[in-house]
Amino acid sequence: MAFEFTDSNFKEEVLDNGGLSVVDFWAEWCGPCRAITPIIEELATEYDGNVKIGKLNVDHNQEVSFKYGVRSIPTILFIKGGEVVEKHVGTASKDYLKQKIEAHQ
């Protein structure tokens, strides 16, 4: 199951995590966000223990969303060593996201 990132746990779970984290910025009212949710869930299961994959609700966690300039959702950030190494805006296929994960893992 995908991890739930929040303003309060983001530093510890993503920035201080030495490995790769994949953060899906989303909102409940966003149709494309709901469409990509099953893919994020599958990837979280497949990469469990190797890559931290989860979701951050932009309506409930505005601090992190603002810090990273998230203006459109879904936005997916690939963060490694506390730095954004890749950013994708909009929906994406599972294969595309797997390619990005493999490239940065």
Residue-wise over 49-69: b if at least 16 C-beta within 10 A, else e? Answer: eebbbbbbbbeebeebbeebe
* Pairwise CA distance, residues 53 & 69, whole Å: 20
Question: What DSSP element (H or E) covers 56?
Answer: strand 52-57
Catalytic positions: 30, 33
